[in-house]
Amino acid sequence: MDKYGLIGHPLGHSMSPLIHKKLFALSGIEDYSYDLIDIAPEKLAESESRLRELKGFNITIPYKTEIIPMTDKLGESAERYSSVNCISNDNGVMTGYNTDCDGFLRSAELLPLGGKVLLVGCGGVGRMIAIEAALHGAELTIAVLPDSVKNAQLVMAEILAKCGNASVKICLVNEIEGGFDLLVNATPVGMYPKVDTCPVSDEVIENSLSVFDVIYNPIETLLVRKARALGRTAVGGAAMLVYQAVKAHELWYGGEFDTEDISAIIKDVEAEVEKMNG
């Protein structure tokens, strides 16, 4: 039996078992296990032998950087972001990947990532989205709260180091001006249970032609609802969550999936989130 799992701390409720069960089923794989493995921070180093028994595993907060010394090599995206959320164990060789990147790009492939992009927030996944937008030729504006300006400046410097001709500027959230082809929310504003909050003003939403929200709970954030009410294309985070898992299966054993099947899993995840919230 091939063993897989998700490591993190604390794990709490996770959509990973549901998603991976459906992906294994689509691949016709029955002889496997996928476990939630909650590892306390002081126990991570001593867990290496246990983790090396797994065929592959996913990594969530707080171990996306802490896991790197345990890998034998890194894929290109993991090197680019110094962040690993998936490991494939090929005959004892542990290779770390960043499939969050793939999840975002695949779920946002119909959005104008290379246009005028407004990114709200730049920590964690926001940093990755900022760099990807710049690499796609975006005219990028990073909007943050005052206490995150220094972090935004670091991300801006990183972008310019990787892509010297990139167009990047920083502003405060309450000082956003102009129109945008794409508005991306990479903050937790609007996440369950505080579902009545929105990261930007109605005016900013009106001045944006499309929206991507990394939040998947609730399925339709206030930001997404407002954008759709204006007739804008708006994508929530459930697709990104599923597609990063799809990439993991491609890496683990060469899994191949139809778009229709993945769309069905996204709907299953959305239904599960709604049921979970009552």
Active site positions, annotated? 64
Across 186-236, the runs of DSSP E, i.e. the strands, are: 210-213, 233-235
Residue type, 11: L
Report the phi/psi class of residue 82: left, alpha or beta, with left for phi > 0 and alpha for psi in -120 to 50: left
Question: Looking at residue 142, what DSSP letter applies?
Answer: E
Query: Residue 84 corresponds to which tokens in the numbers above?
Result: 């690993």
Q: Which residues pair with 32 in a beta bridge?
A: 2
> What is the separation, in whole angstroms, between the first and last Cα of the chain?
36
Helix ranges (H only) for 143-209 are 149-162, 202-206
Contact in structure between 158 and 131 (CB atoms under 8 Å): yes
223 membership: H or E segment, kind and range = helix 222-229
Is the bond preceding residue 10 a cis peptide, omega within 30 degrees?
yes
Contact in structure between 269 and 242 (CB atoms under 8 Å): yes
